[in-house]
Amino acid sequence: MLDSKGPLLPQIWAANKSWDEYQAAIKPRKGAAQILPGHIDAFIRTSFPLHCYTLFLVTSFLLSCTLVPVTDLIFGAMAWPAAEYTLHRFALHELPDRIKPGRLGQCLHFVVHGYHHMFPRDAGLLMWPYPVSLGVMAASAALLACTGVALGTAVGVCGGFWIGQAVYDVMHFFIHCQPMQADFPALKRWLDPQIRHHTNHHHASGPASQRYGVSTTFVDDMLSKNE
């Protein structure tokens, strides 16, 4: 169904297959491909060094801003793992499997998550584009402030949430980037439980693949104990 030598999104639109056929077509492959035609594809890709620099700048600004309480930053950051698990499991896996969207939904799913399952080691698409994530953070803080929440609290909670998401992106990059793991063996040993956990999500079958936490295995571990 999909030829990785050409841009993939137009192929998905043109194929107009069922959800099950789409799922079968995005099984893991080696290498990388284009999602969008021509130079447009570059705009959805993220540079790891630039992402880390952006994380440093935004975190430094938020910590130095007297308007933003540190406790709100911590609360926002601690809220990320639960949101990460919920979005990954329900919005990106279980809900699409249940409603089986048509080609428009398939195209949206492919851009957000399907391509990553098809090419899990494509370094340029292991992280959310930071202009998008920063834009969402700023819009969320503005909406909270409009509802009457103090501006400092709104910026603190949303900023902390963004920091949690950005740190998750760095971990996700490391989990998939084998050359970087070879360069930092001590970090690899420390993150080995997360690496195995997320690798199973991509490549195992059955219950072992139904593990949705990335930055922590805590939620998956707690739920598996209750099953």
Instruction: Write out the chain's pLDDT in tens, 227 residues.
Output: 799 999 999 999 999 999 999 999 999 999 999 999 999 999 899 999 989 999 999 999 998 988 899 999 999 999 999 999 999 999 999 999 999 999 999 999 999 999 999 999 999 999 988 788 888 888 999 998 899 999 999 999 999 999 999 999 999 999 999 889 999 999 999 999 999 999 999 999 888 889 999 988 888 988 876 55
In a domain, 210, yes or no: yes
161: phi > 0 → left, psi -120 to 50 → alpha, else beta; which?
alpha
Contact call for residues 55 and 166 (beta carbons, < 8 A): yes
Question: According to the model, what pLDDT value does residue 37 have?
Answer: 93
Name the domain count of the chain: 1
DSSP characters over 51-119 = HHHHHHHHHHHHHH-TTS-HHHHHHHHHHHHHHHHHIIIIIIIIHHHHH---HHHHHHHIIIIIHHHHS
In a domain, 81, yes or no: yes
Contact call for residues 96 and 19 (beta carbons, < 8 A): yes
φ/ψ of 66, rounded to 5, equals: -70, -15
Tokens of 5: 């030598």
Contact call for residues 24 and 118 (beta carbons, < 8 A): no
User: How big is the chain, counted in residues?
Assistant: 227
Contact call for residues 76 and 158 (beta carbons, < 8 A): yes
pTM: 0.91
Residue 121's domain comprises: 8-225
Cβ neighbours of residue 63 under 8 Å, at least 6 residues apart?
70, 73
In a domain, 71, yes or no: yes
Question: According to the model, what pLDDT value does residue 227 have?
Answer: 56
Tokens of 192: 């080995």
In a domain, 1, yes or no: no
In a domain, 136, yes or no: yes
Q: Tell me, what amino acid is at 198? A: H
| Angle at alpha carbon of residue 210, lines to 205 and 216, rounded to 5° | 130
162: phi > 0 → left, psi -120 to 50 → alpha, else beta; which?
alpha
Cβ neighbours of residue 148 under 8 Å, at least 6 residues apart?
none
Question: According to the model, what pLDDT value does residue 129 have?
Answer: 84
